[in-house]
Chain A
Amino acid sequence: MSTDPSALTRKDFTPNQDLRWCPGCGDYSIHSMLLSVLPTMGVPKEKIVIVSGIGCSSRFPYYVDTYGFHTIHGRAATVATGLKAANPDLNVWLITGDGDGLSIGGNHTLHLLRRNLDINVILFNNEIYGLTKGQYSPTSTKGLKTKTSPMGSIEQPMRPCAYAIGAGANFVARTTDKNPKHLKATLERAAGHSGACFIEVLQNCVIFNDGVHSEVTDKDKAANNQLVLKAGEPLCFGENNEKGIMLDGFDPKVVDVSQAGEDNLLRHDPTIEDIGYASMLSHFSLPDFPVPMGVFRQTDTVTYDSMIQQQVEVAKANRSDNSLEELYTGFSKASTWEVE
């Protein structure tokens, strides 16, 4: 018997213990918005499950009053995959970070997205290892000085959304802890999508990488440095949407809308099957391009969990030789013999 989801409120998911993130951490904003989305999904509370790996973000399951599993570093995607495949009826959220999901767990995240399990992956990207106290991560910018890169990181950073699109994810989005409204709307879009969702949240680590995203997320800079993606609308940004993106051959370029004409700008369409467009967006970065925010890509494909369930049901319907007696003979008496 399921409980009635219509009566759920934020309070039903509020934990009985204190949240132990640093004061000012971006995680609070993400936590707050997810708690406001969970009761609105029409899903009974007991079917909502939160799985995480290791890292600051991965403490998340302890802070939501529902089923939760704080697993091991990088491997949450594997546990979530087994959980969802075993019981496709569950509503599964996976909380991870740039280290957990892209470094140690890069392999598993990729395969979860590729297989298209109906799981929502929220990746908190603060471009630093927080829980081990400030080492560079796979998303840290080149040159970042940390305790393990005193002369500056020499590594090319990963672009989480580009990675997810390359892995074949059908739902890829970016949002930020500093814009709760956009964050909430993005989570709602993911909640409503059937299939693997990848949401990169630009999240601030107030202790070890404070202000890492401020060029993008600060209120006074957002208009010029963010490209807010809206389906069907032209790619515009700036205080008065005076700047836009158009294609010059195969290359995108930033143009003055009044000179280029709005009709010549690219129009956002997240439903394009080909990954070229979404992939192009995922490589936009400052200072040459504004940072896209919103849903890059949202296409529909049948999910892994529904397919495995369907295979079982089809096989059961098509074959009646499903008893242990028949199994033991290898479904054929040809290789058995009777001893009197």
Chain B
Amino acid sequence: MSQETVELDSVIVRFAGDSGDGMQLVGSQFSVASAIAGNDLSTLPDYPAEIRAPAGTVYGVSGFQIQFSHGKTLTPGDHPDTLVAMNPAALKTNVSTLKAGGTIIANADAFTERNMSMVGYETNPLEDGSLEDYSLIAVKMTSLTVEAVKESGLKGKNARRCTNFFALGLICSLYGRPLDATEQFIDAKFAGKPEIQQANTLALNAGVAYAESTEALSVHYQIKPAELDPGLYRSIEGNKALAYGLVTAAEKSGLQLVLASYPITPATSILEELAALRHMGVKTLQMEDEIAGIGAALGASWAGSLGVTTTSGPGVCLKSEFIGLALIVELPLVIVDVQRGGPSTGLPTKTEQSDLMMAMYGRHGDSSIPIIAAKSPSDAFDCAIEATRIATKYMTPVFLMTDGYIANGAEPWSIPNPKDIPEIPVVQHTDPETFQPYKRDPLTLARPWAVPGTPGCEHRLGGLEKENITGDVCTEPENHALMTKLRHDKVEGIARDYPAQQIEGVADSDLLVVSWGSTYGSVSQAVEAVNHDDTDKTVAHVHLRYINPLPADLGEIIKGYKKVIVPEVNNGQFVHILRDKYLVDAQSFARVYGRPLAIDELRDEFISVLSTTKGAK
């Protein structure tokens, strides 16, 4: 059969199936294959909070979206080119997001009367013409898989469970992805189970063979490698990058890493990742609750280690009293908040940026805390190092904000040379002659870190107000006013270390977009879309890593624009901080759909704001 190869710049594929269908596994393997193919990429795992919801239901659908490209990719994309639908529920919930004229590859075997009626299809959408606007390819994936794995001896349910690898093989072939890494993965994962190992490999190859021999799939696609800077790359998820960043920070500061946490979605995999690194000197404590997590992390910091606790929104609520203690005893501590939809249990597996106000203000007393936010999965690596630097230099707890999108999403990571990462100088006080628990460094206002076990520096810490310099308990009004100011000034002073804020897009514009955290990809692509369209409309963009204190030059930048808009995946939080700090009439662009902001929606908003902006620049 003749096969045609069409070159594309960028493709968005979405895998969707039942929670038990192995879609996350297929998605992540396809990501690795795309990374090895040299493409830039960004992924969005999108799964329900239930582990195995009843089969065939709409709420049990688990999805995985990936955009891979020759050019730059900053987001998993708004609208898939290709949807792989493993059952009617997956088709039903995802077809509306598909690009006009996009491709649907559906598992025809799963379109049974029962499965279709469960999701409200009265007739078979694969046959009734309702999908005629799309390019529909119905494949009997289950039966082809069962047939293909026969020689492994696997039968029935076990054979059917290999269908995800059939789908993966098919898609890999369609987009010219290499199979080596997936084959190695299968070999490693099923090392002790030769029949399953063989069956999955057979299914994978059967998918490839199907794609190569089927008339409907005669057009294959090629996406040339991205033009990345030279170096060694891998695909990395945010939680993994963050864990690697913490280990790096510990090594660069010469401190033992002690992570004390309680499992919570979507932060758990940081704890899991670090628990496997005992051989690198990492101690992980799975504590009895969120409070114990931060308590033990603070205890470890007091002992002279790098104490870290990881959590998500509900966990931060529980930790807030301890954060106040960490602020008054002025010990270094990194608090990682992998945000998810809230309030309360909310949307545990969906992304949101709605913990910002809590991080900023969610404590009693005047208790300013440094906050930094990662903008992408690989940026979580750099931010973990930066959070440690701030925590140890200024003797303070630090909030590191990421979210579910960053945590589980993946992108190519240019693996750094550890030698190029600067040391984090940490001095622990050992001289009894000069020791006073609250005698501050005149520049940073940090107090000395004298750890238990240091002869002659015995002292008491605690939550009661401290006397300046001596650290003795002191309730004098003047002292409290002074200490409140010193704690505040210390945090404000951190901004001295920041690099100048970069303006992206077209600096000389009427509209400035100010973003923070994981919206970076969507916002910068939307800004680029406006700046490169055929109108004369332009947009400037500032993205913030440092939320508290804000960069010293941000106020001046903001003043230079007629309009300021702040896109966020919350109901409008950072916009209030900016309005408060700079008395600027910043507008909010707030969306809380549990997913990243859509590029086209942002672009339309920017254009609409610019259309109402009167007068010359």
Chain A residues proximal to chain B, CB less than 8 Å: 1-3, 17, 44-47, 49, 51, 54, 61-62, 65-72, 75, 77-87, 89-90, 107-108, 110-111, 308, 311-312, 314-316, 318-319, 321-325, 327-330, 334-340
Contacts and interface: CB of A to CB of B under 8 A. Distances in A.
Contacts of B287: 78, 81, 111
Contact of B232 (A46, A49, A336): A336
A85 B300 contact: yes
B564 interface: no
Contacts of B225: 339
B461 A86 contact: no
Cβ-closest 4 pairs across A and B: A78-B295, A82-B299, A70-B462, A82-B296
B455 A90 contact: no
Q: Which residue among A71, A90, A318 has the maximum number of chain B CB atoms within 10 Å of its CB?
A: A71
Contacts of A44: 455
A47 B329 CA distance: 20
B285 interface: yes
B297 A82 contact: yes
Nearest to B418: A324
Contacts of A316: 278-279, 281
Contact of A70 (B248, B298, B299, B461): B461
Interface in B167-217: 181, 184
Interface in B270-295: 277-283, 285, 287-289, 291-295
B589 interface: no
Given A47-B453, A107-B289, A336 B231 contact: no
Given A336-B232, A337-B38, A339-B231, A75 B258 contact: no
Contact of B288 (A70, A107, A340): A107
A104 to B, nearest CB: 10
Contacts of A329: 232, 234, 415
Interface string B412-427: 0001111000000000
A197 B575 CA distance: 52
Contacts of B358: none
Interface stretch (B80-88, B95-103, B303-311, B334-342): B303-311
B247 interface: yes
Contacts of A49: 452
Contacts of B112: none
Contact of B303 (A68, A82, A336): A82
Given A81-B292, A311-B278, A46 B462 contact: no
A82 B260 contact: yes
B454 A86 contact: no
Given A17-B472, A69-B462, A315-B279, A83 B230 contact: no
20 contacts: A17-B472, A45-B455, A62-B460, A68-B461, A75-B322, A77-B295, A85-B283, A86-B304, A89-B453, A90-B303, A108-B288, A315-B278, A327-B247, A327-B280, A334-B181, A335-B32, A335-B36, A338-B233, A339-B38, A339-B233
Contacts of A87: 303-305, 451-453
Given A2-B455, A83-B300, A334-B184, 13 more contacts: A46-B452, A67-B458, A69-B302, A70-B460, A70-B463, A71-B295, A75-B321, A78-B292, A82-B297, A82-B303, A312-B282, A330-B234, A337-B233
Given A71-B463, A308-B283, A83 B299 contact: yes
Nearest to A89: B453
B536 interface: no
A83 B303 contact: yes
B308 to A, nearest CB: 11
A62 B473 contact: yes
Interface in B424-481: 451-464, 472-473
Contacts of B235: 335
Contacts of A340: 230
B399 interface: no
Contacts of A67: 452-453, 458-460
A328 B278 contact: no
A49 B299 CA distance: 11
B145 interface: no
Given A67-B458, A337-B233, A75 B295 contact: yes
Nearest to A81: B296
A169 to B, nearest CB: 15
Interface string B304-348: 110100000000000001100100010000000000000000000
B247 A82 contact: no
B360 to A, nearest CB: 21
Given A67-B459, A72-B325, A86-B258, A79 B232 contact: no
A94 to B, nearest CB: 11
Contacts of B418: 323-325, 328
A329 B35 CA distance: 13
Contacts of B285: 81-82, 85, 308
A40 B176 CA distance: 74
B228 interface: yes
A294 to B, nearest CB: 30
A337 B230 contact: no
Nearest to A111: B288
Contacts of A318: 279
Given A45-B458, A336-B233, A86 B415 contact: no
A338 B35 CA distance: 10
A327 B244 contact: yes
Contacts of B297: 82
Contacts of B455: 1-3, 44-46
A325 B247 CA distance: 12
Interface string B34-61: 0110100000000000000000000000
B78 interface: no
B280 A322 contact: yes
A339 B228 contact: yes
B492 interface: no
Contact of B295 (A82, A89, A324, A339): A82
Contacts of B291: 75, 78, 108
Contacts of B301: 82
B379 to A, nearest CB: 15
Contacts of B528: none
A86 B299 contact: yes
Nearest to A90: B452
Interface in B20-37: 32, 35-36
